[in-house]
Structure 1
Amino acid sequence: MADENGAGAAQQQPQIGMKILGQYIRDMSFENILVQKGVTGEVQPELKVEVAMDAKKRTAENQYEVLTKYKVTSTNKDGGAQLFILELEYAGLFLIENVPDDQLHPFLLIECPRQLFPFARRIVSDVTRDGGFPPVNLDNVDFVALYRQELARRQQAEATPTN
Structure 2
Amino acid sequence: MAENANGAAQEAPQVKMNVLTQYVRDMSFENILARKQASGQVQPDVKVQVALDAQKRDAANQYEVTIKLTVRSNAQGTEDPLFVLELEYVGLFNIEGVPDDQLHPFLLIECPRMIFPFVRRIVSDVTRDGGFPPLNLDNIDFVGLYRTELQRRAAEQPAAQA
- TM interval, shorter chain, is over 0.9
Identity of aligned residues (%): 63
2:54 aligns with 55
Kindly provide the amino acid, as one letter, of the partner of residue 125 in structure 2: D
1:30 aligns with 29
Question: How far apart are the structure 1 equivalents of 2:130 and 2:105?
Answer: 35
Question: How far apart are the structure 1 equivalents of 2:50 and 2:85?
Answer: 12
Residue-by-residue CA offset, 1:28-60 (whole Å, 9 max, x unaligned)? 000000001233554110100001100000000
Deviation at 1:79, TM superposition (A): 2.5
Question: How far apart are the structure 2 equivalents of 1:133 and 1:10?
Answer: 55
Deviation at 1:155, TM superposition (A): 0.5
2:71 aligns with 72
Question: How far apart are the structure 1 equivalents of 2:41 and 2:13?
Answer: 59
The count of residues paired between Structure 1 and Structure 2 equals: 161
Deviation at 1:7, TM superposition (A): 1.6
- Structure 1 residue runs without a partner (length 5+): none
Kindly provide the amino acid, as one letter, of the partner of residue 52 in structure 1: A
1:152 aligns with 151
Question: How far apart are the structure 2 equivalents of 1:159 and 1:99?
Answer: 30
Question: How far apart are the structure 1 equivalents of 2:36 and 2:75?
Answer: 13
- What is the SS of the residue equivalent to 1:91? strand
Deviation at 1:77, TM superposition (A): 1.1
TM-score (norm 2): 0.94
Give the alignment's Cα RMSD to 1 decimal: 1.4
2:130 aligns with 131
Distance 1:41 1:162, change over 3 A: farther
Deviation at 1:11, TM superposition (A): 2.0
- What is the SS of the residue equivalent to 2:109? helix
Where do residues 83-122 of structure 1 align in structure 2 (5 Å cutoff)? 83-122=82-121
TM-score (norm 1): 0.94
Deviation at 1:8, TM superposition (A): 1.4
- What is the SS of the residue equivalent to 2:79? coil
- What is the SS of the residue equivalent to 1:86? strand
| Aligned residues of 1:39 and 1:81 also touching (Cα < 8 A) | no
Which residue of the other structure, out of 9, 12, 19, is the alignment partner of 1:11?
Answer: 9
